[in-house]
Amino acid sequence: MSSQITGAGAGTARGSRTRREFGEGPLARVAALVYSLLTVELLLLLTTLPGLIPLVLLDRDASNAPLAVACAIPLGPALSAALFALRQHKGDLTDLKPAAQFWRGYRLNAGGVLRVWIPWLALMAILAVNLSHTGPAAIPGWWAALLVAFATVATLWMANALVITSLFAFRPIDIARLAAYFLGRTKGVTLGNLCLLICAAGLVAAASEAVLALVGAGFAAFLLRNCRPMIDLVTAEFTATMQSAGPEEPTA
């Protein structure tokens, strides 16, 4: 009789150990991720809307490059805030604050991101104007190919700089150096970002900038996931403390 009671008690104990709390199951984690992505996407569209509308309406002509650069300025802080918010995602359905984290990241990172984002946009505008006049200016094909390669490397550098600026607190010159350094240090990250860049360019060419904006949160999530090895190395080698709630502080 006592063995039966003991066995029943053991069965109850085992059942209590395997019972999940609300929000811990795989379905809850998927629901939390979808909610965070949708929230971040809506806020991304909201913060880029002042530049996105005129950008979509502009003709794809070299003369509009300066206007396109001006329209793309709000995109930098918005992408940074999206990366920051997605980085804070913990998968707990009972503790979801993607909107609050987005606005916190926007407030913390807007100034730092613009210091690297605007010069990169200006460089892209100059390269676009040069490439659009290869025929009339009789620019050789090898020079045009070199400009395209340079623009690609600069964009990959910008992807690294955007992630580092969004998650860490470094001086602009240190961000520039780290972004260039990790192009070669983490070759897998660079290759993955190149694939993302090709997908984004193909989507814009096949559809429009508006379609790319509609899946911006997804691209930000893929960028963050792909850059995880670089983020881990920056945290381990270039920061004094590891802080999960906000940008890391640089080492002295």
Q: Which token pair is 201?
A: 């360019």
- Higher per-residue pLDDT: 128 or 60: 128
- Pairwise CA distance, residues 55 & 87, whole Å: 28
pLDDT of residue 200: 93
**Angle ∠(219,187,109) on CA atoms, nearest 5:** 45
Q: In degrees to the nearest 10, what's the CA dihedral of 217, 223, 224, 227?
A: 180
- Pairwise CA distance, residues 220 & 200, whole Å: 11
Confidence category of residue 13, pLDDT binned at 50, 70, 90: very low
The tens digit of pLDDT for each residue in 48-95 reads 998 999 988 888 777 787 788 889 999 999 999 999 999 998 777 666
Confidence category of residue 195, pLDDT binned at 50, 70, 90: very high
- Pairwise CA distance, residues 49 & 110, whole Å: 16
Taking the whole predicted model, whether its pTM rises above 0.85 is answered as: no
Of 155, 219, 157, 154, the C-alpha closest to 182 is: 157
Write the single-letter amino acid at 73.
I
pLDDT over threshold 90, residue 20: no
The tens digit of pLDDT for each residue in 140-180 reads 778 889 999 999 999 999 999 999 999 999 999 999 999 99
- Pairwise CA distance, residues 87 & 233, whole Å: 16
- The three-class DSSP label of residue 241 is coil
Token match 């730092």: residue? 112
- The answer to whether residues 236 and 248 touch, using CB atoms and an 8 Å cutoff, is no
Q: Domain locations in the chain?
A: 22-238
Helix, strand, coil fractions of the chain, as percent rounded to 5 = 80, 0, 20
- Pairwise CA distance, residues 150 & 143, whole Å: 10
Write the single-letter amino acid at 212.
L
